[in-house]
């Protein structure tokens, strides 16, 4: 069995560290006031460039291509320096991953965060050892919701490893899973914008302690 996980909002609540990086970027480059955490949490998704664009728009910064590139570089620098300082691993994640790995599941992460920053976060949180592959937002020429990153994760885990399930929390994850033809297991405590009942998911769970049993039923 192959299990592919989204990262931000699924395995980890990274909003505090992403928010801190955004606010340091705003202060350094534009002397702009910070964005509150509850506001920034709505900016998460589609990768760091999209988060930076939303942050700049919220701050009223007129951004051409040069300004955006400087802002993205600063954001990545600040986030890369502290990707696991305030981030928390969602309840039950470690135990669920350990049990699934012991049961023989092959696991990967598919995120729109750049690959190097994703590995830094996973290593800083002690999760990297669970995963045999990671595809980030800059690994391929496209990112989620395009299905190619998910399919690349599945390929890296091995074509002989059985069926694929994708675990995510957002509309982007839903679209990517459906495009790839993989069942979506929706984690309800993440960064979604629409109601849970509006998702077309093969299964829904609110705590990672429920995930192994859910996968067992579906598999």
Catalytic residues, which ones?
A: 6
In sequence order, the 6+-apart residues with CB closer than 8 A to the CB of 143 are: 46, 47, 112, 137, 149
Virtual torsion, Cα 81, 46, 19, 83, nearest 10 deg: -30
Of the chain, the end-to-end C-alpha distance in Å amounts to 8
DSSP 184: E
Using CB atoms within 10 Å of the CB of residue 204, give its burial: 0 to 12 exposed, 13 to 18 middle, 19+ buried: middle
């Amino acid at each position: 069995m192959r299990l592919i996980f989204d990262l931000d909002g699924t395995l980890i609540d990274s909003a505090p560290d992403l928010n801190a990086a955004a606010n340091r970027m705003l202060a350094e480059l534009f002397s702009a006031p910070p964005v509150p955490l509850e506001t920034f949490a709505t900016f998460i998704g589609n990768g760091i460039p999209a988060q930076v664009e939303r942050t700049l728009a919220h701050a009223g910064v007129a951004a051409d291509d040069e300004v955006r590139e400087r802002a993205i570089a600063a954001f990545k620098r600040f986030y890369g320096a502290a990707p696991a300082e305030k981030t928390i691993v969602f309840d039950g994640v470690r135990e669920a991953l350990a049990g699934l790995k012991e049961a023989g599941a092959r696991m990967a992460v598919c995120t729109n965060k750049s690959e190097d920053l994703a590995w830094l976060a996973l290593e800083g949180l002690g999760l990297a050892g669970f995963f045999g592959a990671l595809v980030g937002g800059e690994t391929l020429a496209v990112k989620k919701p395009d299905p190619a990153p998910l399919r690349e994760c599945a390929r890296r885990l091995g074509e002989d490893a059985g069926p694929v399930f994708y675990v995510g929390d957002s509309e982007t994850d839903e679209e990517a899973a459906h495009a790839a033809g993989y069942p979506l297991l929706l984690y309800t405590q993440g960064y979604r914008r629409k109601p849970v009942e509006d998702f077309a998911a093969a299964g829904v769970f609110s705590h990672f302690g429920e995930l192994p049993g859910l996968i067992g039923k579906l598999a």
